[in-house]
């Protein structure tokens, strides 16, 4: 079982390039999620999370879709991405890119993003078709009070929409959730398993094990004591995945959400005797590593390939090194 895969810093991750990426989407903004939690005077943490803004222009390869949310009178907006290969991709790499078009990956974004989440680049570059969507209260989805349980139901609604599409192979659907979105990727997988229709793969990227631990990352002790969210914590949902393969990813240099959260999630899944893998990179922060560390990204893609039937042996997650 994969526990950790130490990765060396990528030479292209130089200071100038990292500064450029930071100007595109400041990594520190995710901390606002937790700040919102610890400032609560009420009990429902998600009702105070920050909300990202959609870009002015919709990307060329996107089709805007709308579908019912997780509750009556709630409508969610999503972007359906059809990936296009880079002109430089040829030969077997191009063939592999097109094989992945039969796989659909649902992307659950973080607290300060909308459906244009930066980490989608990892999935689109691989060649997957991707649905990104906004939970209630985000983007152009129905503006209504945000709750943990409501977000979880919206995640299940996104999966139902994807499976209802005639151009989707329901046996090749995975979910990738980043930061706060990792919580709802796990919720999506748990609800699908409870319904007897498990997903093929779940990736929980740079998430947290509970709302209390998320708050504790910013204000130790006090945040842990006062934070609360209705419904299940991610560590509860991960135990409900049954036989669904799950990959937990994180970077040791994550200054927003400590890597200890990934280890707690992994321990919870192991206690439930689940098919869980843990991938920890050395350098990558909260988000940059998913875009810039090609070795790390290849292992994430390999995990999705392995469990959705793409069957590309070279991309399968390798054995771990170290503890």
**Nearest alpha carbon to residue 283 among 292, 273, 270, 271:** 292
Distance CA(268)–CA(241), nearest Å, equals: 11
Distance CA(45)–CA(36), nearest Å, equals: 7
Alpha helices by DSSP H, 170-293: 180-194, 211-218, 222-226, 234-238, 260-271, 288-292
Q: Please give the pLDDT value at position 112.
A: 82
Q: Please give the pLDDT value at position 152.
A: 97
**Nearest alpha carbon to residue 162 among 95, 212, 243, 104:** 104
Give me the residue spans of the domains in the chain: 15-315
Single pTM value for the model:
0.80
Q: Please give the pLDDT value at position 322.
A: 33
What are the φ and ψ backbone dihedral angles of 30, each rounded to 5 degrees? -60, -25
Is 108 in a helix, a strand, or coil? Answer: strand
pLDDT tens-digit profile, the chain (323 residues)? 333 333 333 333 444 444 444 444 433 344 444 444 433 333 345 554 656 666 677 888 899 999 999 999 999 999 999 888 776 777 777 777 778 889 999 999 998 888 777 788 899 888 899 999 999 999 899 999 999 999 999 999 999 999 999 999 999 999 999 999 999 999 999 999 999 999 999 999 999 998 786 766 666 656 555 666 677 899 999 999 999 999 999 999 999 999 999 999 999 999 999 999 999 999 999 989 998 999 999 999 999 999 998 864 444 443 333 33
CATH T-level fold of 15-315: Rossmann fold (3.40.50)
């Amino acid at each position: 079982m994969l526990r950790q895969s130490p990765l060396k810093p990528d030479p292209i991750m130089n200071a100038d390039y990292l500064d450029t990426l930071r100007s595109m989407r400041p990594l520190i903004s995710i901390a606002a999620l937790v700040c919102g939690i610890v400032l609560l005077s009420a009990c429902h943490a998600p009702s105070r999370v920050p909300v990202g803004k959609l870009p002015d222009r919709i990307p060329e390869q996107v089709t805007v879709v709308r579908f019912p949310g997780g509750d009556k009178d709630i409508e969610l907006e999503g972007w359906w991405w059809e990936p296009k290969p880079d002109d430089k991709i040829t030969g077997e790499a191009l063939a592999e890119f097109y094989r992945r078009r039969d796989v659909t990956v649902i992307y659950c974004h973080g607290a300060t993003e909308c459906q244009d989440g930066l980490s989608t680049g990892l999935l689109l570059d691989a060649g997957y078709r991707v649905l990104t969507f906004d939970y209630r209260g985000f983007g152009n989805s129905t503006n209504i009070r945000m709750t943990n349980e409501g977000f979880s139901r919206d995640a299940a609604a996104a999966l139902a929409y994807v499976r209802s599409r005639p151009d989707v192979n329901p046996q090749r659907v995975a979910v990738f959730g980043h930061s706060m979105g990792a919580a709802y990727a796990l919720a999506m997988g748990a609800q699908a398993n409870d319904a007897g229709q498990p997903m093929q793969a779940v990736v929980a990227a740079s998430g947290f094990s509970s709302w209390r631990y998320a708050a504790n990352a910013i204000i130790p002790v006090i945040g842990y004591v006062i934070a609360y969210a209705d419904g299940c914590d991610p560590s509860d949902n991960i135990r409900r995945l049954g036989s669904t393969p799950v990959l937990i990813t994180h970077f040791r240099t994550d200054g927003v959400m400590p890597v200890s959260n990934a280890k707690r999630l992994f321990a919870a899944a192991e206690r439930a005797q689940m098919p869980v893998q843990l991938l920890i990179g050395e350098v990558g922060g909260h988000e940059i590593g998913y875009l810039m560390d090609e070795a790390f990204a290849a292992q994430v893609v390999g995990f999705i390939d392995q469990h959705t039937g793409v069957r590309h042996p070279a991309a399968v997650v390798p054995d771990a090194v170290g503890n």
